[in-house]
Chain A
Amino acid sequence: MRRMVLFAATCVVAGAQPRTVLLPGKSPLVDLRFAFLTGAADDPPGKEGIASLTASMLARGGSRTLSFEQISQRFFPMATQVSVQVDKHMTTFSAQTHIDNLDAFYAILRDMLLDPGWRPEDLTRLRDDQINALRTGIRGNNDEELGKEVLYNAIYAGHPYGHHNFGKVSSIGSITIEDMKAFRKARYTQANLILGLAGGYPPSFVKRVLADFGKLPAGKAARPDVPTPKKIDGMSLTIIDKPTRAAAISFGFPIDVRRGHPDYAALLVAQSYFGQHRSSAGQMYQRIRELRGLNYGDYAYLEYFPNGMFRFEPEPNLARPQQIFQVWIRPLELPTAHFGLRLALHELERLVREGLSEEAFERTRGFLSKYVSLLVKTKSAELGYAIDSAYYGIPAYPAYVREGLARLTRDSVNRAIRKHLDTGNMHVVLVAPEAEKWKRRLLANEPSPMKYNAPKPDAVLEEDKTVEKRPIPLREDRVTIIPVDRVFE
């Protein structure tokens, strides 16, 4: 199996101090981000979830000197807290505090990260939280996120990305405090740390933080050495059998492109044109929702973007050397779900076949070159993006994207689309009731004629005649049904 090694730019000489990303300013607010280059991809087999649970024990558990209850009491008047996010290769602790409280806040935060308390009662609570996040938060209460996460699990089966960042219910229960201490000691090292500060902190604060975090083990450079996922051969399908009102659908396939890749800007244009997140300008949104009213929205992604139903912009610090191209079809009424899936696949085929027109190319490129500024509208986001740029070895993200866009032509975008986007080899996830019926209907390629509540242009009705019969070439051995209560177990 070919292996992909993360670019040299992210490597640090052993024993060096943590790298720093500094954005000083005059604001009375100070943003702090401590990004450790470790995450769920480092979870050992049988201990899936340890990266998340370890990070929670630090951010939402006590330090050696203060219980979490005492920490909560002290943070409360400052109106601050420590947030944590764990992805495959990055674990980020972030916080924002007013300059008035910086010293008092930092003294507590430092002890939380450098001198954790490892109390059994914190473990019991946080283990429950992590299991409930999987069972209730995603599986029970969020069909759309369920579909997206199962898509990742399916594409990366047998790969270090093959489990949710929170792990599996069965493995979370087996993680001990000793396991986490060992995990932290090996992974939370100076070489693995990118330290970010933004806002009105005094210059002496940087020295103080570096001196404190210089006490971490020096460690060795992070070299995520993850295998490429198995190539998807043809169409495969997972149906999550769940009693839902509507059907949530996601599909996708691995791509080689990530920030730093020569085709990143070209695929960014393609993605934005096809399905800019939460925008009504995307082609899929226009054809599926706006023209036909089938659902609430339809979007496409080049990079992992969890919790998209709650956010307009992606959270930074989800940097990965491997990504998938993903399409998110928001819940469809059950009678129109088969047609909706066919229509989304039809639109993807059209994108690959026809590409963008000159006008669409210029419009989308113009949009992105301005929109990219809005992604860093807060200091916290700017800091997060700057850390990601350090990880990927690229300039500041807005400048990187603008420079990439400036070099593009319509042909280069359309070439990148044909090179990287696939219409015949992908995985589809459907969250819906009566999975066996769905399986039979999809395998039989039964027609799915549309009826509308209002007149439609002839061109739409004509197109529907093709779409309603569009075969989805599935083989029975490529269709898996998973009862919802087995997911993430």
Chain B
Amino acid sequence: MNLVPIFLSLAAAASAAAPSKIFPYSYDQHDMPNGLRVITVPTEFPDVVALYIVVQAGSRNEVEPGKTGFAHFFEHMMFRGTREFPPEKFQGVLQAAGAANNAFTSDDLTAYHTTFTKPDLETILRLEADRFQNLEYSEAAFKTEALAVLGEYNKNSAAPASKLFERLRETAFRNHTYRHTTMGFLDDIKDMPNQFDYSRKFFDRYYRPEYTTILVVGDVQPAQVKSLVNRYWGGWKRGSYRATVPAEPPQDGPRRAHVDWPSPTLSWLTMAYRAPAYADTEKDTAVLDVISFLGFSDSSPLHRKLVLAEQKVDVLNGYYADHVDPYLFTVSARVKKKEDLPSVEDEVTATLAGFKDTLVSTTRLEEVKRHLRYQFALRMDSSEAIASTLAHFIALRRTPETLNRLYDLYASITPEDVRQVARKYFNETSRTTVTLTGASK
């Protein structure tokens, strides 16, 4: 196995007509008999190891009524200990390792990440194996932790953008679990202390090897990692549960909502179009990524007009957010004066319509492709950054190879692809618009 990072070929790739693989590291991918996947990526960064444990369960899996926010809440409970390692002892081991340890939850995944120096690899893998297999907490600890989740909601509540995107989801979706944010609805968060039994069920369903990928990036060797994972995770039992996530029917017409923010703030406009699930074999989602840069990046004509020339807007972005199930292509703008909201909305609509009518220039398209490749290369600046980038894609396809496939798709996009995808997705019937304005002083 060639473990030398292919820096030179990466550098060459950015300007070459036929690009080589975007992910510049060799990696080892191994499936254990219980369904657990282990991916090891040795890097040239000395001493440091980044461990990401990715569980393919997030707020998308919250299919039962009244249980929104549960995947995230459960992430908190994973820090409440086992018989062998009660919380203080768990914390003590991490402290002794000088480790940075945390976790996050999103729509499609929950990830537990630890960064440490290489002598502690076995200790950390053993510690993690224990809580994934033997988590045990009291009802009292569960109820206390539910309050910490409410505390997290409280600290987020000061930002109007949180409310804006909460409203966007509940307006754009009626059936699918993407209807709620990862934090969940406030009423469900308040009811969390009463859901102890459900929490055990959640653990039993999703904290299973077939949902989980162990990703180890840094100053490590695959043989050593696989041997340790086999020792500590080999006995983990496969589960059987599969969530039935309700499908969202096609949207039947444009939707609109508004948020009145109780204190003064700048206004927001967000416009979202229904978009397909992440794919690395068909072009649509790759083209939507490219359109987000063509239309709404710092180099876009709309940015030039609204941010630099007219100065009506101070934040403008567009993005297709990779998801397991069909989600949204979203354009957002923070608008300095609320009376400009309608004209900014018209400009965004016209920009998207422009892609349907006029072929984008090849030169401009090539600039976006170069941007995407260099943006990726610049992200590979530490083992932790590499692991964090991979974790997102592992939640979608469980392999770093999906990155190479995606970037190959980017390379193949033509101006006609852009026009066809714009015509397919940017239609009024599948649009949701949400605005937010603050109180006058």
Which residues of A come within 8 Å of B, CB atoms? 26-29, 68-69, 72-73, 75-81, 96-101, 121, 124-125, 128-129, 132, 135-136, 140-144, 242-246, 248, 278-281, 289-297, 309, 312-313, 330-333, 363-364, 366-374, 377-380, 452-456, 484-485
Contact = CB atoms under 8 A, between A and B. Distances in A.
A330 B151 contact: yes
Contacts of B79: 280
Contacts of B14: 98, 100
B308 A140 contact: no
A128 B266 contact: no
Contacts of B308: 68-69, 72, 121, 125
B140 interface: yes
Interface residues of B, number: 80
Given A144-B155, A280-B91, A331-B151, A377 B438 contact: no
Contacts of A296: 148, 151-152, 154-155
A81 B157 CA distance: 31
Interface of chain B, main secondary structure:
helix
Contacts of A136: 264-266
B98 A246 contact: no
A444 B324 CA distance: 56
Contacts of B375: 79
B147 A369 contact: no
Contact of B378 (A96, A121, A313, A366): A96
B314 A141 contact: no
Nearest to A143: B158
Nearest to A368: B98
Interface in B386-438: 438
Contacts of A456: 140
Given A312-B100, A377-B383, A140 B299 contact: no
B266 A484 contact: no
Query: Across chains A and B, which 7 residue pairs bring their CB atoms closest together, nearest first?
Result: A370-B98, A293-B147, A76-B299, A454-B143, A246-B154, A79-B374, A293-B144
B96 interface: yes
Contacts of B344: none
Contacts of A69: 304, 308
Contact of A363 (B95, B142, B382): B95
A79 B378 contact: yes
B419 to A, nearest CB: 22
B302 to A, nearest CB: 12
Given A68-B308, A281-B91, A364-B95, A377 B382 contact: yes
Nearest to A199: B381
B175 interface: no
Nearest to B373: A79
A245 to B, nearest CB: 5
B143 A331 contact: no
Given A312-B100, A373-B117, A76 B314 contact: no
A293 B96 contact: no
B198 interface: no
Contacts of B107: none
Contacts of A485: 264, 441
A401 to B, nearest CB: 11
Given A246-B155, A363-B95, A485-B264, A374 B378 contact: no
13 contacts: A72-B299, A72-B303, A80-B374, A100-B374, A121-B308, A141-B158, A246-B155, A248-B155, A279-B100, A331-B155, A367-B96, A370-B97, A370-B116
B362 interface: no
Contacts of A100: 11, 14-15, 374
A156 B140 CA distance: 44
Nearest to B383: A377
Nearest to A135: B264
Nearest to A28: B7
B158 A243 contact: no
Contacts of B140: 454-456
